[in-house]
Structure 1
Amino acid sequence: MTDSETDQELRARRAASFGGEAAAYARERPDYPDAVVRWVLEPLGARRPLRVLDLAAGTGKMTETLLRVGVPAADVVAVEPDPGMLAELRRAFPEVRALEGRAEEIPLADGSVDAIVVGQALHWFDLGRAYPEMARVLAGGGVLAAVWNRDDASVPWVAGLQRVLGGGLSQRSRSGELPVSAEFPEFERAEFPHVQRRTAESLAATIGTHSHMLVLGDAERAEVEGRILGHLRATPETAEGEFDLPMVTLGVRARRG
């Protein structure tokens, strides 16, 4: 990041940073707990078929969870703006319809899905444009949901890692306090425990796929990765072999107004 770079320019660069590391993103990022997806879809009851849009689908982490909880592949459509991420998704889930597109201009017909699920991405949207688009493609009574995996900083060694990174890791955390609109007048929130099995090296690689790391220069990125590994190897819980990275998964949902 340069001294003259504005917050808006940095945000745009971070949002566009993932595609070049799509394979690492697919390999290192965690999935989502089944419980959060079941909670997201709960308001739709026994509606069948249950047509679900995985919006800003990335490499398919949410798609994977949707399929695992029993949503048929034929009823899932994934939409992702980055060609590199989309290619990884298509490789991993060839049975799922996958389209290039973005939240502000969704390439689907009016009322064509019952639920929209956004994993780890709603904070990148221009909600003033995305809310009307998402409402347009939702059927009556449909659900919009956003999900974020957040590291559990109530665990001392995780809080210690955040301090080592100078708060960089905490940028993953999202409050889930979303602005309401005519389309989505009320949001509900729920939290779910989650873990990812990691080693010091694989956790450093996971952090390396975060946007605040991807926009760093090579030397600065190497220096931060060195600090991550140094801390993890000096911490008893993470020094040797595999360990669980504790997370809290936040779900936010709203019915179409």
Structure 2
Amino acid sequence: MDQGDRLLLSSSFGAAAVAYAEHRPNYAPAAVSWALEPASGPRVLDLGAGTGKLTAALVMLGADVVAVEPDPAMLAELRRALPTVRALPGSAEAIPLPDGSIDAVVAGNSLHWFDMEVAGPEIARVLTPGGILAGLWNVFDNRVDWVAGLKRVSGSAAIGPRDTLSDWRAETADAHRREAGVAARFGSPEQAEFPHGQCRTADSLVATLATKAGLLVMPAPEREATLARIRAYLASRPETARGEFILPMLTGVLRARRL
């Protein structure tokens, strides 16, 4: 993804901040615990925190959390939901915290939006020596037949290259190759996957997919056609046609230690 596309897509979420807060899934608690397991202390930075989905899980674990988010609308939703959390405007490329002030930096469904040539050294700067960097992603379990079918009918704008289990595994198979600004500062990454799920209806799953960046930047007629195709598919499947169902998911985690 070139820099222009990254900026366009990553800046799209603010327009859907309320829907994002309502419909996006939280993270498997076991995944969050595993991400933080090697950290030497309780000070955690949720970087690119969005509306606070991961922040809330960190608070539940008793972490001393600071949330940093660049989008004002997303940050407003986070502050509304978690008024006791210290939440600051900022970005992965310009973190508003002192050197060596954080024991772990985590990023929930956001690490892929960072310009790691700049963000890598900046993350290393705020971490203590031996501090942890962890990225978490919620992915659809497309080993399940109807979920695999959903990806086929949705198109990559709705279920993109990091959104399913098979994609996650393909991308992390070569996770030892890190971008400039990271390789010299962090050790070899570890990875793990944790079962997860989200209670949905057909309508709320469509609303969840409508918060994906690819759909948010899509021209309105194309976007509505895509969502209509997804609705028709869900109506055609016995698993999703009536009432509530569990959307099969996993939370995947990559973590690495600052050298």
| TM bucket, shorter chain | over 0.9
Q: Mapping of 1:11-30 within 5 angstroms?
A: 11-30=6-25
Distance 1:186 1:124 in 2: 21
Separation of aligned partners in 2, 1:172 and 1:196: 18
Report the counterpart of residue 100 of structure 1 in structure 2: 89
1:248 to partner: Cα distance: 1.5
Alignment-mate amino acid for residue 16 of structure 2: E
**Where in structure 1 are there 5+ consecutive unaligned residues?**
1-5
Residue equivalent to 2:55: 63
Residue equivalent to 1:255: 257
Q: What is residue 181 of structure 1 aligned with on the other side?
A: 183
Q: Find out whether 1:86 has 2:89 as its counterpart.
A: no
Mapped pair 1:125 → 2:110: no
How do 1:1-257 residues align onto structure 2 when only pairs under 5 Å count? 8-44=3-39, 47-48=40-41, 50-71=42-63, 75-168=64-157, 169-173=159-163, 174=168, 175-176=171-172, 177=175, 179=178, 181-257=183-259
Task: Give the letter aligned to residue 20 of structure 1.
Answer: A
Following superposition, the deviation at residue 195 of structure 1 comes to 0.1
SS state at 1:245 partner: strand
1:108 partner amino acid: L
Separation in structure 1 between the aligned mates of residue 186 and residue 36 of structure 2, nearest angstrom? 16
Q: Distance in 2 between matches of 1:101 and 1:95?
A: 18
Residues 1:172 and 1:206: Cα distance change in structure 2 (over 3 Å):
farther
Q: 2-side partners of 1:58 and 1:148: how far apart?
A: 13
Identity %: 55
Partners of 2:44 and 2:238 in 1: CA distance: 43
- SS at 2:67's partner residue? strand
Q: Let me know the Cα RMSD of the aligned residues.
A: 1.4
2: distance between equivalents of 1:80 and 1:171? 23
Deviation at 1:172, TM superposition (A): 3.8
- What is the CA distance between 1:219 and its match in structure 2? 1.1
Deviations 1:154-190 (A, max 9, x none): 0000000111113441334342426151111310000
Asked if the contact 1:34–1:68 (Cα under 8 Å) also holds between the matched residues in 2, the reply is no
Partners in 1 of 2:117 and 2:7 — Cα distance? 17
Residues in 2 aligned to 1:140 and 1:194: alpha-carbon distance in whole angstroms: 32
